[in-house]
Structures are given as structure tokens and as C-alpha cells.
């Protein structure tokens, strides 16, 4: 039996990975205790996604409601499946730098200690399984804000002659920068994943994502901006843009494109790799541009306001340079740009959002 063990299995990336690997003939072991509801409230709960996975995948999906901080629980689970585990995809996390400041201890124990528990159990019970970690561009802190940026009509852009004009590479320093407490806990996890690869010759990879998105995202005010923005556009709920004149730029990678990258790594794994991975120049937008697209898709004016105060440590401009990954895995390609992503989010969720809104009223 081939097992794909996936943490955060009912979240955006975890659920996409569960569906993908089940289709490839794996039995999926999913770990998720719906902490997203604790972080962001009932509207961000992923319980709907758990039900969907169980209904669609049937016996090919087995769910475990385990906290990744529970070392003994994680170890027992790995011992049960042992070397049947062919791949570990670790997506579970506390994902918000705003939220981390409220409870730094919980943030760190989930992101760093939880990752350590998974690495150690992988080493002891499934040492040949590729270990894929969804890291973040926040490991670079606010270093990108020191880049030479030019103000355009709807966005900030980098000087076209700069070495990062095609996107930010992995050689950007993570030192002497404001990370946010979330960024610090993810740095700790990121380095652990690298060191387990080097010390124990494990096939590990840190995928340092920009914004990860897609129709399965339970978007909330503090995390998942495209999904939450579209939800606000559909329901007429207020949205706040924080700082930088609304011209801050994010690249967004669709969960399907990211999972395809994971599968490329699984088929030809490497030791202790680090990849910046995101929408890149193919899929990126500013806040103002995203608002315009949402309004066009929904035919509704978004109820939004502007706050001069930017979020602490927030990036003004981030576009990933995917060329290192493409150099290693030239068969990988992206299929979803921003308009395609937003249209899919709208079509997949509009009816559910409206129904849930009526129920809550």
C-alpha cells in the first residue's frame, strides 16, 4: 500500500494534495484538527472540506484529528503506517503574522515544534519518503521592501534593470530584517527541514510560497486575501486595504499548480532543497487590480476602505523567481493566472457563501 501522509489535509493546499495523490493511486492519510477555526473564527473552519474529501475519496482517505504538537500522537500514527508512507506533505501551520503576535508561544510550537515532530517521525519510520514543507516568503522578512521600487498607476514595480526584475531569488538574505513572529517560527521550521536533509540524507524540500490560493481556500480577514476579497465582493461585506496606497503587489499561485510542483519533486527528489515558488511574472496583482477584477466578475462594487497603516513587516512588492525550480524540473508549468483563479474561486464558492450568509442571518 502506498501512503501519502498530508498534514493540514482539509486546508487549501492539503485538500488539493489529498485529491491529487488519491487520483494517482495513493491512500491518503490526512491530519487536520481544524485549528483554522480557532485562529480565524467559524467562517474559516475547514470542516466542509473534510466532509467533501471523505465523500469524494471514500476509503482512499483516512482522517486523523491530531494536533501536530502532540509528539506521541504523531509518532504512533507514523509507527502504524511505517514504510508504507511514500511521501510526507506538511502544510499544517499557523499562517498569519498578525495572529502570531497575539500568541507567540502557540504560533511557534505549531510551526516549529510541530514540524520537528513530523521530521523526527519521518526519519524514524519512513526515512526514504520525500518530505515536502510549505514554507513561506516571510522567511525573508521585510528585506524585499528595501528593493528599488517605482510607483505606477495601480501598483508598485521594481526597477526593470534590477537583478530581481524577473522575481526574487533564493539568494535574498534572511538576516537583519523584520520577520514578524510568524516569519521567525517559519524560519525555524524551514531551517529544520533543511538540516534534517543534510544531517540524515533525507529528501527534503522547503517551498517558500508567495500567496497560495484556489477555490478550496477558507479565506479570512487575516489570511487568504484573494478568496476573502471575492467573498466580500459577493456578500457586500466591508474590506480594508492596509497601507501602500493599495498598490502592494503579490504573486498568487493556484493550489493545483503548486501540487504539480510537489509531484515533480516526489518523482525525482533531492536533499535539503529550497525553492521560491509562486505565481511569478505569470500570475500576480496589486490590491487595486484584484479589487477591479473582483468587481468585474461579480458585477458588484466592493465595499472597501483604505487605512494608511500598513501591516507590520508586510511586503510592498513580492514576485517569486521560479527559475531554480524550473531548472531542476523543466516539465513543470503553470496553468492559472489571476483572472482564471478569481473566476474559479467565484464559481466554486458563490452559492455556498450566499447560502451560509442567509443561514447566519
Q: Write the class of the CATH domain 3-360.
A: alpha beta
Q: How far, in Å, CA of 157 to CA of 310, rounded?
A: 18
Kindly tell me if the per-residue pLDDT of 148 is higher than 60. yes
Calculate the CA dihedral of residues 158, 163, 167, 168 and round it to 10 degrees. -100
**Coil, helix or strand for 320?**
strand
Kindly tell me if the per-residue pLDDT of 128 is higher than 90. yes
**Residue-wise pLDDT tens digits, 152-161:** 999 999 999 9
Q: Identify whether the C-beta of residue 168 lies closer than 8 Å to the C-beta of residue 276.
A: yes
Q: The pTM is what? A: 0.94
Average pLDDT over residues 337-361: 87
With left for phi above 0 and alpha for psi between -120 and 50, is residue 9 left, alpha or beta? alpha
Given the C-alpha cell 529550497, which residue does it identify? Answer: 274
Kindly tell me if the per-residue pLDDT of 105 is higher than 70. yes
* CB contact set of 204 (below 8 Å; sequence gap of 6+): 119, 130, 131, 132, 133, 193, 194, 196, 197, 271, 272, 273
Average pLDDT over residues 129-137: 98
Nine-digit cell at 221?
A: 480577514
Helices and strands (H, E) in the chain, number of each type: 13, 15
Q: Are strands 85-90 and 131-136 parallel, antiparallel or unpaired?
A: parallel
* 298: nearest Cα among 345, 249, 252, 337: 345
Nine-digit cell at 210?
A: 508567495
**Residue-wise pLDDT tens digits, 297-342:** 999 999 999 999 988 778 999 999 999 999 999 999 999 999 999 9
Kindly tell me if the per-residue pLDDT of 223 is higher than 80. no
Length of the chain counted residue by residue: 361
Report phi then psi at 126, rounded to 5. Answer: -145, 60
Amino acid at each position: 500500500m502506498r501512503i501519502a501522509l498530508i498534514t493540514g489535509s482539509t486546508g487549501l493546499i492539503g485538500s488539493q494534495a489529498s485529491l491529487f495523490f488519491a487520483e494517482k493511486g495513493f491512500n491518503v492519510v490526512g491530519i487536520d484538527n481544524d485549528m483554522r477555526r480557532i485562529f480565524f473564527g467559524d467562517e474559516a473552519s475547514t470542516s466542509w472540506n473534510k466532509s467533501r474529501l471523505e465523500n469524494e475519496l471514500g476509503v482512499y482517505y483516512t482522517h486523523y484529528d491530531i494536533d501536530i504538537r502532540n509528539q506521541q500522537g504523531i509518532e504512533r500514527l507514523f509507527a502504524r503506517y511505517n514504510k508504507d508512507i511514500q511521501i510526507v506533505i506538511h502544510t499544517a501551520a499557523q499562517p498569519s503574522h498578525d495572529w502570531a503576535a497575539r500568541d507567540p508561544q502557540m504560533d511557534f510550537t505549531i510551526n516549529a515544534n510541530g514540524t520537528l515532530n513530523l521530521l523526527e517521525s519521518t526519519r524514524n519510520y519512513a526515512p526514504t519518503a520525500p518530505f515536502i514543507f510549505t514554507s513561506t516568503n516571510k522567511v525573508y522578512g521585510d528585506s524585499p521592501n528595501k528593493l528599488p521600487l517605482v510607483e505606477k498607476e495601480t501598483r508598485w514595480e521594481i526597477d526593470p534593470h534590477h537583478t530581481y526584475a524577473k522575481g526574487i531569488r533564493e539568494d535574498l538574505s534572511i538576516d537583519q530584517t523584520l520577520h514578524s513572529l510568524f516569519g521567525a517560527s517559519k524560519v525555524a521550521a524551514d531551517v529544520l527541514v533543511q538540516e534534517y536533509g543534510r544531517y540524515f540524507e533525507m529528501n527534503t524540500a522547503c517551498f517558500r510560497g508567495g500567496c497560495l490560493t484556489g477555490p478550496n481556500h477558507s479565506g479570512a480577514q487575516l489570511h487568504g486575501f484573494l478568496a476573502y476579497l471575492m467573498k466580500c465582493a459577493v456578500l457586500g461585506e466591508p474590506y480594508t486595504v492596509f497601507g501602500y496606497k493599495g498598490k502592494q503587489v503579490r504573486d498568487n499561485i493556484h493550489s493545483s499548480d503548486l501540487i504539480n510542483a510537489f509531484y515533480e519533486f516526489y518523482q525525482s527528489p533531492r536533499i535539503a532543497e529550497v525553492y521560491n515558488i509562486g505565481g511569478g511574472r505569470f500570475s500576480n496583482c496589486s490590491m487595486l487590480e484584484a479589487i477591479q477584477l473582483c468587481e468585474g466578475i461579480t458585477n458588484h462594487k466592493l465595499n472597501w476602505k483604505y487605512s494608511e497603516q500598513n501591516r507590520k513587516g508586510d511586503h510592498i512588492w513580492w514576485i517569486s523567481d521560479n527559475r531554480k525550480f524550473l531548472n531542476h524540473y523543466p516539465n513543470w508549468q503553470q496553468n492559472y493566472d489571476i483572472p482564471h483563479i478569481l473566476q474559479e474561486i467565484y464559481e466554486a464558492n458563490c452559492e455556498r457563501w450566499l447560502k451560509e450568509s442567509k443561514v447566519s442571518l
